[in-house]
Structure 1
Amino acid sequence: MASAFETNLATAERLLTRFRDRPLGHFIDGREVPGQSERLFDNLSPIDGGIINRVHAGNAADVDAAATAAQRAFPAWAALPGTERKRILHRVADGILARAEEIAVLESLDSGQPIRFMSKAAERAAENFRFFADRAPDAANGLSLPAKDHLNFTIRQALGPVAVITPWNTPFMLSTWKIAPALAAGCTVVHKPAEWSPLTAMLLAEIMAEAGVPAGVANLVNGLGEEAGKLLTEHPAIKAVAFVGESTTGSHIMAQGAPTLKRVHFELGGKNPVVVFDDADLDRALDAVVFMIYSLNGQRCTSSSRLLVQSGIHDAFVERLAERVARIRVGHPLDPATEVGPLVHERHLNKVLGYCAIAQADGATVKVGGVRAGEAGSGGNYVRPTLFTGANNRMRIAQEEIFGPVLTAIPFKDEAEAVAVANDVAYGLAGYVWTRDVSRANRVALKLDAGMVWINSENNRHLPTPFGGMKASGIGRDGGDYSFDFYMETKNICVALDTHTVPKLGA
């Protein structure tokens, strides 16, 4: 009987046949189409560095075709009753679950994420669509704001065609986190996925079309960020840009959209602290610390990449941590036993490994890892989970987003120093606090420069809550009605009761 690993490999080989037969194109106005230029780029495997498939590089004509299709489809989609959008979006969720295995396997192959995490990607993506589908009928609702002589009421209206630009770390789930609320609000979409992990974006486009999303409502353009992405953020038909990725890229997108006054929503980088006080439940804290930096290959924006540990327990806690890190299983992403898979691209691998030399030059210690994993010459982007100790917050390893399975441990004396160190970075996405002292937990949470704080917990997402960061970590919030605040315009309508005096001129 075949093992789960062998079954996954066989499924992968079957699925890849389609993508090897012809270059991956775009999905515009309801169908897959080739690029209008002859330029292609290689989609490389994180596992062995080989070519998975070739992809059409979107150009100005491709971007214009997609944006024009979205603009043409917008009036009818926005006018569709919310109850009908709800029905269609629930069918999208059904379609995602029907292809759950396909999504998980392709996502693991393309991004290097372990199948143990990607096996839930379809479930989370379907949940995103169902959550916003159920809110579609009430998306336009506003407030009654009566005054003495007038009645005021507000409504929300869909913004128009929007660009959704998604990253390579968990591409399928993150694309649904943006596209689902946009469609529920009545917007149309042009999606530009990351060029390092493009495969599952086409699956989502097909699923949406099969579920009854009308032609032109959800479009896909593949390509390089500096070309297709830039063209999309500059296109006059696009009214807003929702982007997940690096902070520097976000600043470029803001500049590119400025001439056409585009609305922007950014989920950007983070250098998130996890603060462990000496009175914490140290067993649970240790589990959360390990999970939140080494799961998903350390490639998630909310990873707690700085460990701040109170001085009295620092050495003992770090020793226990080092033992756990050394035992993390690195391997093929389709092996269910794998805990850390290959990083998405060789360029990213070199960036992550480069921080080991930086750490040592700054005086820190590479306590665990810091080297490539796997057989020499295998071509895979494997790295040993890494732990830096003997660090302080001024070092580059404590200030810069590494975005890999790399953790920097820093001691602190007391609550005031913990808060000061936690806040002393350019970012402000997430924070984690471990203590049994309820008052201290709340004091620290209130003082952290972070859009989200978890107390005595790892990152636990509740879809109605706001998701987003401060400072260089982003602009705006996702989740619940916070998403509709971005994808919709709020309009006030004032109705006179004919009881007020109208001013007169020239009478």
Structure 2
Amino acid sequence: MTQTLSPNHELAARLRESRLKDGLKHFIGGEWVDSQSGETFHTHTPTDNSHLTTVASGDAADIDRAARAAHDAFQTWREASGSERRKILHKVADLIEKRAQEIAVLESVDTGQAMRFMKSAAVRGAENFRFYADRAPGAADGQSLPAPGFLNYTLRQPIGPVGVITPWNTPFMLSTWKIAPALAAGCTVVHKPAEWSPVTATLLAEIMDEAGLPKGVHNLVHGFGESAGKALTEHPLIHAIAFVGETTTGSHIMRQGADTLKRVHFELGGKNPVVVFDDADLDKALDAVVFMIYSLNGERCTSSSRVLIQEGIYDEFTARIAERAKNIRVGDPLDPNTEVGPLIHPRHFEKVISYFGKAQEDGATIAAGGQQVGEQGNFVTPTLFTQARNNMRIAQEEIFGPVLTAIPFADESEALSIANDVRYGLAGYLWTNDLTRAHRFAQGLEAGMVWVNSENVRHLPTPFGGVKNSGIGRDGGDYSFDFYMETKNIAISLGTHKTAKLGVGQPPVVDKTVAEG
């Protein structure tokens, strides 16, 4: 019997044949080029870890060529008017929307993310470009700061060529989140995507080229962190590095960029708490808790990977989470009914499943999941650990998978202490109907972002970023321009102030006798 392929599978087959068969190249100075060394590497689809495509493997020579292209293009792109940039970035957004299905399918094939989330991620990529397109005309705007005798005014100017290093989880959307404000600000870009998920970076480069972005304004170099990434962070023509990824890698990048005094923006790891008090709307809280850890395969920096539950409702609430976790559909990411797909890479898969044993060694209970699914690919069951303590490894270390650790607490004071007792501080979530406690607790959380009675719902003008080991700096709205632009103050004298005079009149007579004595 002939099996009928779904539309997603048919499109995936066509794209693999038409777009991936001949491999992926770098995009430098407006040209698609191989690595100067001729080196390549292979990438695989996490559904069965079969070969997906061959990728040009960049090194210092390719980064140098890209950085010089970005440097040369910066001299003209910085002078482009905000309205010119706005027109091009809106065209980018239009083309992303036009190719959203293609982007979503290739992202799903490349990363293992479920199609139900990748289509919306592609659309959010378009929204990112539209948002910053509309902000481009005002990117240079500053303030008027009058003072006695002076008119001070500020303006913002693009910092120069920047490096953007993006992660393997939802790579297309996160690339737009970094690249769009850089271009709107007037910067040029060298983009190094994660080697585990290189495919859709090529689509983004194609789209920006088709939209009319001048040659050299955006450059793409594939490769590994220890070669291409290191060369990018050390290159003297690159003025700043925007990085999303693991905390340890962020510290390496900071060291590598120290000699050239690079500005850095880091969005790093998280071990984010969601705190559920007994007065909360428990039905809505349950939906949010389940969504924020099991969607996107649990591979997201803002996932609520620790759920802190008040003691009186702990058993009932964890039982409800376990029931929902057991019903989550794990399978082929191209199937529109799939809710959790395979993890990105065998190495990451091994890391995630290693915590099943660690949890039991430390005394926690596996209330749901804790198993590999099938014999092919990187599939795991959505997992819930109960009877956990905050000093366990499952509560302190970033697992970055569909794995949730449930910890009981007695009162607000203990909940806040547990929530803050990690080295990370990216996001926090709070469920309570006590208004004063909501404000008090949210202000006490050591996190860059807090949502009260909600899952992560992003509003693009708001700041996005973390504290402690979760990052440096903020994205979102004009906060991105604070990173990609320099603020300059210009002071204009109104001619009314007096300048102290030196060297006027006869020099004083020096008594040589006293001086020599």
Aligned identity (percent) is: 68
Deviates more, 1:180-189 or 1:493-502: 493-502
Q: Deviations over 1:427-472 (max 9, x none)?
A: 0000000011111111100000000000000000000000000000
Change (3 A) 1:419 1:403: same
Deviation at 1:221, TM superposition (A): 0.2
Residue 250 of structure 1: aligned partner: 250
- How far is the alpha carbon of 1:504 from its aligned partner? 1.4
Q: Please tell me whether residue 420 in structure 1 is matched to residue 417 in structure 2.
A: yes
1:384 pairs, out of 381, 405, 409, with 381
Task: Write the distance in 1 (CA, Å) between the matches of 2:189 and 2:154.
Answer: 25
CA distance in 2, matches of 1:431, 1:325: 21
Query: Which residue of 1 is the match for residue 202 of structure 2?
Result: 202
Q: What one-letter code is carried by the residue in structure 2 that aligns with 1:388?
A: F
Q: Structure 1 residues 84, 3: CA separation in 2 closer, same or farther (over 3 Å shift)? A: farther
CA offsets 1:138-190 (integer angstroms, 9 cap, x no match): 00000011110111000000000000000001000000000000000000000
State whether structure 2 residue 124 is matched by structure 1 residue 124: yes
The DSSP-based 3-state class of the residue aligned with 1:120 is helix
CA-CA distance at 1:3 after TM superposition: 11
Match of 1:270 in 2: 270
Q: What's the CA shift string for 1:389-425, capped at 9, x where partnerless?
A: 1100000100000000000000000000000000000
- 2:64 corresponds in structure 1 to 64
Aligned partner (choices 475, 482, 492) of residue 478 of structure 1: 475
Q: Which amino acid aligns with 1:121?
A: A
Corresponding position of 1:40: 40
1:85 and 1:351 mapped to 2: Cα distance? 43
- Closer, same or farther in 2 for the Cα pair 1:4/1:187, shift >3 Å? farther
Q: State whether structure 2 residue 155 is matched by structure 1 residue 171.
A: no
Partner residue, 1:11: 11
TM-score normalised to the size of structure 2?
0.96
Matches within 5 A, 1:217-296: 217-296=217-296
Structure 1 residue matching 2:146: 3-state secondary structure: coil
Render the CA deviation track for 1:348-399: whole Å, top value 9, x for unaligned.
000000011111111111111111112x2x2x00001111011000001000
Q: Distance in 1 between matches of 2:373 and 2:338?
A: 13
After superposition, the CA RMSD in angstroms is 1.1
Change (3 A) 1:312 1:160: same
Matches within 5 A, 1:391-402: 391-402=388-399
Q: Distance in 2 between matches of 1:199 and 1:282?
A: 40
Residue 433 (structure 1) aligns with: 430
1:227-275 Cα deviation digits (max 9, x unpaired):
1001100000000000000000000000000000000000000000000
TM-score calculated relative to the size of structure 1: 0.98
Question: Secondary structure at the residue paired with 2:243?
Answer: strand
Q: What amino acid is aligned across from residue 477 of structure 2 in structure 1?
A: G
Give the counterpart letter for 2:428 in structure 1.
G
Q: Distance in 2 between matches of 1:388 and 1:433?
A: 20
Matched residue SS, 2:303: coil
> What letter corresponds to residue 125 of structure 1 in structure 2?
G
Q: 1:463 — aligned with what?
A: 460
CA distance in 1, matches of 2:49, 2:168: 16
Which residue number in structure 1 is paired with residue 86 of structure 2?
86
Tell me the distance in 2 between the aligned counterparts of 1:236 and 1:71.
10
* Aligned residue type for 1:276: V
Q: Alpha-carbon deviation of 1:4?
A: 10
Paired residue type of 1:340:
V
Contact 1:275 1:308 in 2 (8 A): yes
Q: Is the Cα contact below 8 Å between 1:5 and 1:335 reproduced in 2?
A: no
Q: Once the two structures are superposed, what CA deviation does each residue of 1:98-139 show, in whole Å capped at 9, x if it has no partner?
A: 111110000000000000000112210000000000000000
In structure 1, the gaps of 5 or more residues are none
Q: List structure 1 runs of 4+ shifted beyond 6 angstroms.
A: 2-5
Aligned length in residues: 503
Corresponding residue for 2:347?
347
Looking at structure 2, the residues matched to 298 and 366 of structure 1 have their Cα atoms a distance apart, in angstroms, of: 17
Counterpart of 1:139 in structure 2 is 139
Deviation per CA, 1:308-352: give whole Å up to 9, x if none: 000000001011111000010000000000000000000000000
Corresponding position: 1:503 with 2:500: yes
Q: Which residue of 1 aligns with 2:442?
A: 445
